[in-house]
Amino acid sequence: MDTAGVRCEMKNNRLIITLEGDLDHHGAKYIRDEIDKAIFLFRPMSALLDLSSVSFMDSSGLGLILGRYTRMKETGGILKIVNPSKEIQKILCLAGLEKYIPIIKNQETLTKKS
């Protein structure tokens, strides 16, 4: 079992949330708590959820992402998903998340302002 890790940092006035490993029920609570702490602390208008290093995601991961989308919306901000693998993007699209959360497939997004 390779539970996902999480790193949150402010860069270019955006909260960059980087996840690594498996995004499943084993680590979802810890990750959710860490992201929510960062959202509360920084109050970002924009957050980028970098999934480039996520190797697996189940329904707990989808719930985690939807919950962070809702949290950002409640605080007046927006959430974008960045760099999912083809497999993870397929899961996101099958769940219909692209209708609510923009999915960006360009690493440069993390360094440019948007």
Burial 64-91 (b: 16+ CB within 10 A, else e): bbeebbebbeeeebbbbbbbbbeebbeb
Q: Does domain 5-110 have CATH number 3.30.420.40?
A: no
* Domains of the chain by residue range: 5-110
Q: Is the pLDDT of residue 112 over 60?
A: no
Q: Is the pLDDT of residue 95 over 70?
A: yes
DSSP annotation string for the chain: --B-EEEEEEETTEEEEEEEEEESTTTHHHHHHHHHHHHHHH--SEEEEEEEEEEEE-HHHHHHHHHHHHHHHHTT-EEEEE---HHHHHHHHHTTGGGTS-EE--GGGGTS--
Residues 7-52 have pLDDT tens digits of 999 998 899 999 999 999 988 999 999 999 999 999 999 999 999 9
pTM: 0.89
More confident residue, 64 or 2: 64
